Amino acid sequence: MTGEDTRRPHSAEFFGPERDFWWNLDHLELIASRLGLDAVGSVLDVGCGVGHWGRLLSLVLPADATIAGVDREPSWVLEASTRAQRSGLAERFSYQEGSAEALPFPDASFDLVTCQTLLMHVDSPRAVIEEMLRVTKPGGLVLAAEPNNRVWAVVDTSISAGATVEERVELIRFALTCEHGKIALGEGNNSVGDLIPGYLAEHGAIDVQTFIADKPAALVPPYGTEGQQALRDYVMREVEQGTAGWTREDAQRYFVAGGGRPESFDAAWERRLAERRREATALIDGSFHTAGGVLLYVIAGRKPG
């Protein structure tokens, strides 16, 4: 590419305010209790982005636990460092550039090595898990929060509940075709969470445990909580930008790579955008509602001692 590189940093569309409302803290406290995280002194957050996951986990870890973050994107490393500084956490948190496939740390460096929605974006989640286990101390934990994202295509809302079987099947077909294309292009599996427990076991992790996040993406009028307002704003932002989970450009790449006929893309994309626009209209007039089912796993495996 010539001239200035104007690409957006990876995952920029997923680092909005709504990310701060993915978890119930008391549920994370329960998971931390079950996994014995009170003994953790050092943490590595792989693919840390702007630091959401590491800062959240720090609330259920010992007060003196240190958290290092690594991300391939320089702008996210800078932003994560800035946020830690502003929050008075700079002594406990540190961030640096690095690849998840080749972590810049020696073997057996951390008590806990973790990631949130990273493995869904890599070509080989197995390779990243192998690296995460490498830098985990014997007896330490690898902890991954990863989704099955195709669930959104079958969860009812007050808009989609009125669709015909054929209309629902077309939206599901579009979502699955794009997911398969993303995998084929080596850009990750949006529903990889289903497979992570098995991948951990394949690489020698023991005591593999799986939990499910207990906080759905509910939207119920009058959308009075801060979390619901952030979700509402996310939908509005997508409609304004003409996106639907992905940009049109990315969706078209995935659709074709997943076996979709190029000449069918425009109609399929318009169906998805039209549904999003109907959701936004209903949110404005206060008629939209959904329990907002989410399937986000928390998966842990211990490195043999």
Q: What is the DSSP string of 209-223?
A: EEEE------B-TT-
Nearest to 254 by CA among 188, 181, 190: 181
Nearest to 282 by CA among 162, 171, 169: 162
Alpha helices in the chain (DSSP H): 25-35, 52-58, 74-86, 125-134, 165-184, 196-202, 226-241, 248-257, 265-285
Q: List the domain boundaries for the chain.
A: 12-148+191-214+294-302, 152-179+219-285
Q: Does domain 12-148+191-214+294-302 have CATH number 3.30.2180.10?
A: no
Please report, in tens digits, the pLDDT of each residue of the chain (305 residues total).
333 334 455 565 566 678 888 999 999 999 999 999 999 999 999 999 999 999 999 999 999 999 999 999 999 999 999 999 998 888 999 999 999 999 999 999 999 999 999 999 999 999 999 999 999 999 999 999 999 999 998 999 999 998 999 999 999 999 999 999 999 999 999 999 999 999 999 999 999 999 999 999 999 999 999 999 999 999 999 999 999 989 999 999 999 999 999 999 999 999 999 999 999 999 999 999 999 999 999 999 999 98
Listed in sequence order, the residues at least 6 apart from 175 whose beta carbon sits closer than 8 Å to its beta carbon are 150, 152, 153
Quick one: CA torsion of 51, 57, 58, 62, rounded to 10 degrees? -160
The pTM for the full model equals 0.92
The answer to whether 81 touches 150, Cβ cutoff 8 Å, is no
